[in-house]
């Protein structure tokens, strides 16, 4: 009987030794895989040939950490590429008016210039300088908004009045642009909680965008839909595409692919940032030649 027990104990010890050796080899292989993954761009899931419950739980945690690291690495690369693109766009947007200003300053050095030409060149320089000033101010404002540094005071705002005021102020510009405007503002709309200055900025930027890209018709609507007030600006925009609509709220995105300085690509980014800071949302779509930007204001 004792002999049988001894044999069983020896067999049990042998099984435990083999299992321990197998587990140790598996852990070493997992460690090697992890080291290789740390130096590589690919994701490798660690595995053990004969894991125990504790080791399996540890591997699950390690695999989750590896997947999280891979996602963070991919997000870092995406942000790095986006930052490089934004820096390139900022550099180009600054260089374009500056180059023009320097060019016209050189022209002003010509002694034989007539007073009329000299005045014309001064006016061009002033226009380029104002474009540069607008770009820098917009970039600064967007940075403050996204960084939460721009103070916003929420109060009850009458969107119908705010929109009507902006449309009246821009009436001459709309006429000069040759746009046929259609306005539909529902009566009896409840106020929304927002910053009045931010609301004015949003409507102003949306009108500016419509004037810059719109052709023929401009349709402005304000109405209630469920628990929201919806404001929409729709205009025929032959120079825009569905792809543009998917990116218009991105920093420095502009349909002016040559970046001639006609648009900074910051106006709609500011609209989105302000709306989200106040707890509201914006969206854009392009369909059958019509470009529409809509804001959903929570009541």
**91-146 to CATH, choices 1.10.287.130, 3.40.718.10, 3.20.20.70, 3.40.50.620:** 1.10.287.130
Instruction: Please report the pLDDT score of residue 220 as a whole number.
Output: 92
Residue of 237, 151, 133 lying closest to 196 (CA atoms): 151
Average of per-residue pLDDT values in the chain: 78
| Residue 142 tokens, joined | 């967007």
pLDDT in tens, 46-103: 565 555 666 667 677 777 777 787 788 787 787 777 667 666 666 766 777 888 888 8
Distance between CA atoms of residues 76 and 73, nearest Å: 5
Give the SS3 label for residue 53.
helix
Q: What is the pTM of this model?
A: 0.62
Residue 13's pLDDT band, with cuts at 50, 70 and 90, is low
Per-residue confidence at 131, pLDDT binned at 50, 70, 90? Answer: confident
Q: Does domain 156-298 have CATH number 3.40.605.10?
A: no
Q: Given a cut of 80, is residue 117 above it in pLDDT?
A: yes
Name the pLDDT band for 7 (thresholds 50, 70, 90): low
The answer to whether the CB of 228 falls within 8 A of the CB of 298 is: yes
Domain borders along the chain are 91-146, 156-298
- Sorted by sequence, the CB contacts under 8 Å of residue 80 that are 6+ apart come out as none
* Degrees, nearest 5: CA angle 148-150-154: 95
Whether the predicted pLDDT of 163 surpasses 90? yes
Q: What would the two tokens of residue 250 be? A: 């991105």
The residue written with tokens 């719109």 in the block is: 214
Give the integer Cα–Cα distance in Å for 268 and 206. Answer: 7
Let me know: does 265 contact 254? Beta carbons within 8 Å.
yes
Give mean pLDDT, residues 106-113.
84
Distance CA 35, CA 66 (A): 11
180 DSSP assignment: E
């Amino acid at each position: 009987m004792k002999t049988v027990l001894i044999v069983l104990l020896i067999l049990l010890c042998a099984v435990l030794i083999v299992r321990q050796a197998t587990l140790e080899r598996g852990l070493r292989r997992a460690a090697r895989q992890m080291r290789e993954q740390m130096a590589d761009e690919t994701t490798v899931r660690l595995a053990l040939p004969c894991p125990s419950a504790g080791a399996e739980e540890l591997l699950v945690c390690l695999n989750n950490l590896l997947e999280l690291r891979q996602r963070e690495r991919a997000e870092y690369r995406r942000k790095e590429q986006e930052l490089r693109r934004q820096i390139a766009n900022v550099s180009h947007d600054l260089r374009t008016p500056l180059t023009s200003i320097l060019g016209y300053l050189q022209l002003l050095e010509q002694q034989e210039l007539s007073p009329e030409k000299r005045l014309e060149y001064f006016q061009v320089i002033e226009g380029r300088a104002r474009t540069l000033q607008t770009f820098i101010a917009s970039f600064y404002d967007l940075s403050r908004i996204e960084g939460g540094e721009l103070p916003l005071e929420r109060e009850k705002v009458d969107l119908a009045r705010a929109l009507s005021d902006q449309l009246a102020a821009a009436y001459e510009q709309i006429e000069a642009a040759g746009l046929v405007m259609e306005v539909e503002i529902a009566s009896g709309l409840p106020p929304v909680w927002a910053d009045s200055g931010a609301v004015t900025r949003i409507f102003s930027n949306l009108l500016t965008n419509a004037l810059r890209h719109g052709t023929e018709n401009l349709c402005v609507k304000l109405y209630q839909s469920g628990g929201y007030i919806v404001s929409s600006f729709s205009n025929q925009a032959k120079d825009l595409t569905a792809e543009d609509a998917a990116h218009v709220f991105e920093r420095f995105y502009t349909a002016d692919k040559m970046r001639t300085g006609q648009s900074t690509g910051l106006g709609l980014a500011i609209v989105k940032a302000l709306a989200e800071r106040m707890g509201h949302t914006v969206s854009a779509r392009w369909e059958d030649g019509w470009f529409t930007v809509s804001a959903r204001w929570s009541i």
